[in-house]
Amino acid sequence: MSILKGVGVALVTPFNEDLSIDFESLTKLVEFNIDNGINYLVVLGTTAEAATLSDEEKKQVVKHIIKVNNKRLPLVLGIGGNNTLEVKKQIEETDLSAFDAVLSVSPYYNKPSQEGLYQHYKLLASTGKKIIMYNVPSRTGQNMEASTTLRLAKEFPNLCLIKEAAPNILQYFDILRKKPEGFSLVSGDDEYTLPVTLAGGDGVISVIGQGYPKEFSTMVQLAFDGKVKEAYEIHNKLVEITRLIFAEGNPCGIKAVLAEKGIIKNYLRLPLIPASDALYAKIKEEMATL
């Protein structure tokens, strides 16, 4: 699935002070990323605070991003949940004509077995849509093991990619080593992007990438070109800011970065809150060195 290669960014949803959606800032954010070399955009992921958007707001965000993007970059739409039948229904009933794939997180909270995870994605594959599996144990409470991912990848060609965010990098390497032809892995962890890309991954779906699109895209391209030393120079520069933006959870850190850059306003919807004054000061200080 080479169209989704390089740096995809999981866009935030900017809010106004009254917590309504700030569409003007959303336009600025999309343009900033397109202008600075991002390869594709991910709409309504976790970073978008999708859990706190109403169905109507989700429709408005999708419509707005499609319009602003104007077919310039490939688009991916987040549709996930822990009710398998409902997720399948949503995928089937959503107009996906503007999207290149659906990003679907593994079921959270329920903690299914490996066989349960297999059956979940098997049912989603039956929709016939291109689906990116998303394994993020820190959020779901359950790791999808490499063996389960590989089993799905071999059996269902439309499960074409995994966004892997397991805390153990060896799991990424196991998938890359044994994956079938035509199946891709991207990092779901910003800090693992470079080693995973060098090991044969197809890049990243990133959070920090939307704050530093030029730098992050350049780093990944250098990795594709085998320019390891130059790629690591950029990686090492961005490590500190990458760690800082996740220090109090996502997306409070990246919203602080984007607010400091004048792209969005620094508002989040409960239960998430903006970065603490101490963290904001550290982010500001680190940004000044970049």
pLDDT digits over 172-207, tens only?
999 999 999 999 999 999 999 999 999 999 999 999
> How much is the average pLDDT of 98-103?
98
Say yes or no to pLDDT of 283 above 90. Answer: yes
- Overall average pLDDT of the 123-149 stretch: 98
Res. 3 pLDDT band, cuts 50 70 90: confident
3-state SS class at 78: strand
DSSP annotation of 209? G
- pLDDT at site 2: 67
Q: What is the rounded CA–CA span in Å between residue 65 and residue 11?
A: 10
pLDDT band for position 267 (50/70/90)?
Answer: very high
Range 80-92 average pLDDT:
98
Count of Cβ atoms closer than 10 Å to residue 68 Cβ: 17
Secondary structure, 3-state, 152-203: HHHHCCCEEEEEECCCCHHHHHHHHHHCCCCCEEEECCHHHHHHHHHCCCCE
Query: Is the model's pLDDT at 1 over the cut of 60?
Result: no
Residues 15-54: pLDDT tens digits? 999 999 999 999 999 999 999 999 999 999 999 999 999 9
Tokens of 198: 């060098």
Using alpha carbons, list the distances in angstroms from residue 250 to 24, 87, 93, 152, 232: 22, 23, 29, 29, 24
| pLDDT tens digits along 208-226 | 999 999 999 999 999 999 9
134 classed as catalytic: yes
Please give the CATH topology (third level) of the domain spanning 6-225: TIM Barrel (3.20.20)
Q: Cα–Cα distance between 145 and 147 in angstroms, integer?
A: 5
**pTM confidence score:** 0.97
Percent residues over pLDDT 90 in the chain: 99
Q: Decide: 134 and 162 in contact? Cβ < 8 Å.
A: yes
Query: Active site residue: 118, 121, 134, 267, which one?
Result: 134
What integer best gives the mean pLDDT of the chain? 97
Active-site residue, from 5, 58, 163, 179: 163
